[in-house]
Amino acid sequence: MESPYTTSNPKLQYAWDSVSMTTFMECPRKYQLQIIEGWVGKRKRIELEFGILFHAVLEKFHKLQAEGTEENAAILQSVRWLLQHGRSMPEDDTGYRTLFTLLRAFVWYTDRFRNDHNATIILPDGKPAAELSFRIALPLVSPDGEPYLYCGHIDRATTFAGETFIDDYKTTKSSLSSYYFKQFDTSWQITGYIFAGQTLLPDAPFKAIIDGVQLAIGFS
């Protein structure tokens, strides 16, 4: 994996994503400890691993659908993939983030949005825009003479009712109330995704959809 830091100064980041941006804006000291030095609490690491697997299984599901796989078959193949790749996932002691709740959240999510009218955008190279990686050069030059980059992954780019959207998945223990969704209003993460979408597909003005997935012992 290519280092996000400059060659001349291994602690100077030139490739930024929404996590490093928001962490630095929240607290430069936290940015130093968490992003540069890599200090992460055990529970935070579990949350990250859970989120990575949830995004990965949805990526597989949407790509299977874009390739023409029937919906039930796509769900079954995705569940099998998750059972194989999620066995070593660390589990928290609260019962909220386990392989069982991960499988349940995926199955209930796909069942809730069965026959979803949001269509995954197919890119010019024929690939579906699911977990779409981007690296955008910014008009700022690092000490090494290379441009600073804004990087990341768009969960899914879709069309619905003639409009284009960035879909972003969030798993949470909180209830999916208006208070929960308010935290994403004009956040750098969502604004950055819209910026990336409009840069990659300049003819498609983007909006954003937050797909919140609530985790709990008895429901999701």
Residue where a domain terminates, one of 84, 100, 116: 116
**130: β partners:** 156
pLDDT digits (tens, 9 = 90+) for 115-149: 777 888 888 888 888 888 999 999 999 988 989 99
Same domain for 184 and 89? no
- Kindly state whether residues 152 and 211 are assigned to the same domain: yes
Q: What is the CATH classification number for the domain harbouring 204?
A: 3.30.70
Give every CB contact of residue 198 below 8 A, 6+ residues apart in sequence: 204, 205, 206
pLDDT at residue number 220: 47
The domain in which residue 150 lies consists of 119-220
Share the mean pLDDT of the chain: 86
Predicted confidence (pLDDT) per residue in 23-63, tens digit: 999 999 999 999 999 887 766 778 888 989 999 999 999 99
Q: What percent of the chain has pLDDT over 90?
A: 31
User: Residue 9 falls within a domain, yes or no?
Assistant: no
pTM check: above 0.95: no
Long-range contacts of 14-18 (CB under 8 A, 24+ apart): 14/142, 14/144, 14/146, 14/147, 14/148, 14/149, 15/135, 15/148, 15/149, 15/151, 16/148, 16/149, 16/150, 16/151, 17/150, 17/151, 17/152, 18/152, 18/188, 18/189, 18/192, 18/193
Q: Out of 60-64, 72-76, 166-170, which region has the weakest mean confidence (pLDDT)?
A: 166-170
Q: Are 123 and 217 within one domain?
A: yes
Domains: count for the chain: 2
